[in-house]
Structure 1
Amino acid sequence: MPEAAAASALVARDGQALRLAAVGVAAHRQGLSAGMTLADARARCPDLATAPHDPVADSRELDRLAGAMIAFTPLVALDPCDGLVLDVTGCAHLLGGEDELVAGVLAAAGYTVRHALAAHAAAARALARHGTGHDVRALPVAALELDERALSGLRRAGLKTLGDLAARPMAGLAARFGEAAVMRLRAILGEAGSPITPLRLAEPIRLETRFPEPLARTDDALDVIEELLTRAARIMEERQLGGRRFRVVLHRSDNVRPRLVVETGQPVRDPAAVMRLLRERIDTLSDPLDPGYGFDAITLAVLGAEHLPSRQIGLESGKEDAEDSIAALVDTLGVRLGEERVSRLVPCDRHLPEKAQGLVPAAQARPAPWPAGGETPPRPLLLLDPPQPVDVIAGVPDSPPQRFRWQGRLHDVCLAEGPERIGAEWWRKRGGHIPGNAGDTRDYYRIEDGKGRRYWIFRSGLFGETPGPRWYLHGLFP
C-alpha cells in the first residue's frame, strides 16, 4: 500500500469475520498486522481508515510493477501475491553500483517496500519477508514458511533460527519435520538451487507491408489495411486476445506519415468491425487521407489487447447480437464525437442511490450485463436530482403512503411495496456513528397510482427519532 500519514488498511471477509488483508506503515507502527480481525484493529486504532481488498487489482498492479522493473533487468519474476524477484546479476554496474540500482528500483516502484539483496533468490526472498539484516542464519524458522504445526514443533524443540537448524543433521530434520523443511532450508542457505521463472513479455503484434511501387489510391491502401487486420486477427485468436487500441501508419514517399488510431469499448478481433471504425476516423479528419506521391509501406500495431476467449455461437444468439450492436454503436460514436464525449454509467461502491453510479468514458468502462427480459428492476432507471418533496397521507406513521401530491397533482396509491431501509454513510463522517441520530435514514417504497404509473418514494428520517420526517419522490419507473 502507498505510504500515508493516517493509519490505513485493506479489509477482506474471512467466513463471517472481517480481517485485515494488508496494513499501511502507520497502522503497522500501531501494532496492526495482516490477519487481525477488524474489531480488534478498531479497538487498537479507532481512527483506522479501511478500504475493501481487491485481489484482482493487486494482481494487475503487480504485473504493472513487473513491467516497470524490466528497465533494470530482463529477469523479473512474480512472487505472488505481493512480491517481485529481480535477478540483477551483471546489471548493477550499468547504473553505478548496487546502491544506485536499489535506489532506482525503489523510486520506480513508488511504494514503501521491503527489499533485500542476496546471492540467490531464495535467500533474498527470505530476508525481505522475514529479516532485517543480511545474515540468513539469523532468520526465524518462520522463514521456511511451513504449516503452523511444523513451526510449533520446531519451536518446542528449541530450534528458533535457521542457524539452529543448520547445525543439526539434515537426515534427522527430514525424518522429524519433513523433507520440505530441509529443501527450503538448503535453498535459503544456498546449498540447493533456487531458480526463478522470469516473465516473458508477449511479442507485440505489429505487422507491415512494403510495396515495390507506391500505392497511389486510398482504396487500395484500405484493402491492404484490411488484409493486415485479418492477419492480426489470426495472431490474436491463437493467443486468445482481443484488441482494444489499433494504430495504422501509412508511410508516404515524401516521408509524411499520417496515422489512424481507433479504440474499442470491448476487446475485438473482427477485421470488419475495426475497418468500420477506421473509415469513420477517416471521415472525421479535417484533411482528407491524401496519398500524395503514393504509399511505400503500411504498418499496423495492436497497442492494447485483453483476454478474449473464443465464443461459440448458440442457437439463440439474440442477446449476444444485441450486446455486440450496442458495443459497435458506442465505438462508432466515440470515433465521431471523441472518446471523452461518450460516457457510460458504471456501478460505484456506494449504497446511496444517487451515488451508486458514476460516468466514465465508454472506452474505459466494462459494461454490466443487461437484465434478462421480463425482469422488473428493483430501482428505477430515472432518478430525480435532487429528489423532489411531496406531500403524503399515510394510515399510520410507519405505513406506506396512501395518497401523495406532486407538482400540484393528487395521486391515489393502489399498490405499494416496501420499505427498503437505507441508512446514512456514518463511516464517512468525522463523528462516525452517533446513536439516535437517524435523520438521514431513508425508507423507500415502490408504489403505483390509479393510472398505472409507478414511483419511487422515500421518507427521510424515522418517527420518534426525527421531528417531522419528510417525504420525497426520488425516481420514476418506466
Structure 2
Amino acid sequence: MPAFSMTRRILSLWLPRLPTDRLRRQLSRTAAPVDSAPGDVPWVVVARLANALQIVALDDAAAKAGLEVGLPLANARAICPDLMVFDADPAADALALEAIAAWCDRFTPLVALDAPDGLLLDITGCAHLFGGEALMLQTVSRALTAQGFAVGAAIAGTAVAARTLSRYRHGRIVGVGGEADAVSALPVAALGADPAIGHGLRRAGLKSIGEVAARARPEITARFGAAFTSLLEQALGQRDAPISPRQPLPDYIVEKRFAEPVATDTVIAATLSALAATLVDAMARHGKGARQLRASFFRSDGAVRAVELQTGQPVTKAVVIDRLFRERLDAIADPLDPGFGFDLIRLSASQTEIVVQQQRDLDANVHDNDELSALIDRIAARIGGRRVVVHLPRDTHIPEYAAWAASAQHHLAEAAQAAWPARIAGEPPLRPLRLFAHPEPITVIAEVPDGPPARFRWRRVSHAVVRVEGPERVAMEWWRSDAALLTRDYFRVEDEAGLRFWLYRDGLYERELAEDEEGEPARPNWFMHGLFA
C-alpha cells in the first residue's frame, strides 16, 4: 500500500498598511495627542528615492483620496493639502512584522516571514484544532483587525498560490488541486515577479496568469528565465517549495489554552508544572531527555513572552524542569507582565537527546557528578549559562591562549578529564594563576639593553627590582596572521616590598623591530601581564 502523505496547506497573511497601522498603534500607546490627527486625515509614509521624496506606504484614507505608492510627495500635497507625512522606518516595520509572526505562533510553530509586509503559516494538520480552515482564517483575520492592522488572507496548497490570492482575493480558500483555476484570472503582477518581467509579459499581450500558463513552458523559460517558470508553476499548484520558518520546529511541544486569560502566578506555575509532566511523558515514550527548553506565554493583547534555558545533561524528570523554570522566572530582571492575562502557555523541547541507561555502582563520583551538573543547571538558570564556565587547556605556549573559558553545562566532562601541566611541589609557580585581560604598558630601566629590568614604573608607582628570574622566551606561532605579535621575553621579578610580578619585553633588539623615522633601531616595549599571589 502506498504511504499516506498529508497535503500541505499554507495560510498567507498580507498586511498592506503595516507602516501606517504601526504608527497609529504607536501613537495610541504614547502620550501623543491622537486628536490632532483624526482618522479621516490621510497618512502617508515617505522615503527618498531617486533624489526625491516618494510615498512608500499609505492608509485607506490616502488611497481613497487618490494617492498611491510611488507618487512624489509634492504631487501628493497638491492633491491632498491636509496630509500627515511620516518618515519611513524599515527597521521598526520589520520589528512589527516579527512581533506579529511571534503572535501567530499560537496557531502553528511553522511561521515564515514574507517581507516586507507578509507572513506564511504552514497549517498542515492543525486547522481542525480551530474549527477548520474557514474558521481559522476568520479567527486570525479578526484578531489582527482588532489589533489595528489591515489584513488580507488566503489558504492554498502552495505558498506562492496563497500569497497571490491573499493580495487579490481576501478570504479565499482553495481546495486541493484548485490553485490553477483560482489564480488564472488574476493579473501577472500578482505573482510578485520582477517588474521588468511583468512589463515584458504585457508587451507580449499576456495580461493574466491564465494567459501565461497557456503558453508552452520552454517558450516562457527561454524568454523570462527558469526562476519565473518555477514561480508560475508554484502559483498553479504544479510545483511546490518549502517555506523557511523563522524558528526551527521543536522536537516536542505541549501547550495549554485557556477559555479566559489567566494572570496569577499560582495558575501560571501550576500550568508549567502540568506541562512539564506531559512533556516528560512524551519524551519518555521515545527514550529521550530535554537539553534545551522554551516556555512561551501568549498574552491576550498579542504580546508574547518567552523564557529559554539549557541543561548540561538530558532532563527526564518533570520536577527538575519545574525547578529550573522557577529559578529562571525568579531571577529575570524583567518579570513576566501578564497584562490582561495569558490565553496560551506553551512548553517545548527544542533540543533532545537519547537517554542511555547506565549501570550505577557504589562509586560516589558518579553521583557527585550528577549533583554537580544539576547545581550548574540551577545556577545557569538563575544568572545565565554564559556566566558559568570551566577552563580547559589549549595546546599552545602563548600565555593568553593557553586556556579558554567554556560553558560548564556543555564541557563539564572535558573539564574533569583535562590534563593541566603538573606543578612541582615546593617550587614557586612559573606563571601567575590569573593574567590581566590586556597587558598593561610599563616603563623599564635595565642595566643593559637585553638584560632584565632593574627598575620599572607601573600605574604611577616606581618599583626597584631586588630579585629576577628569566628570561623565558615565547615566540609567536608563525601561522598567525597578526603581524603585531612579536617574540616575548618574560621575567619573574620581585621588588623591595616583596611583591612579585610577571612582565615581558615585546620584541627583540635589531631583529623584529622596525627603524624609526631617523633610521635608529626602535626600542621594544615592556608590559605587565600578571601578578603572583
TM-score normalised according to structure 2 size: 0.39
Identify which of structures 1 and 2 has the higher relative contact order when contacts are C-alpha pairs closer than 8 Å and 6+ apart.
Answer: 2
- The two structures have a TM-score, normalised by structure 1, of 0.43
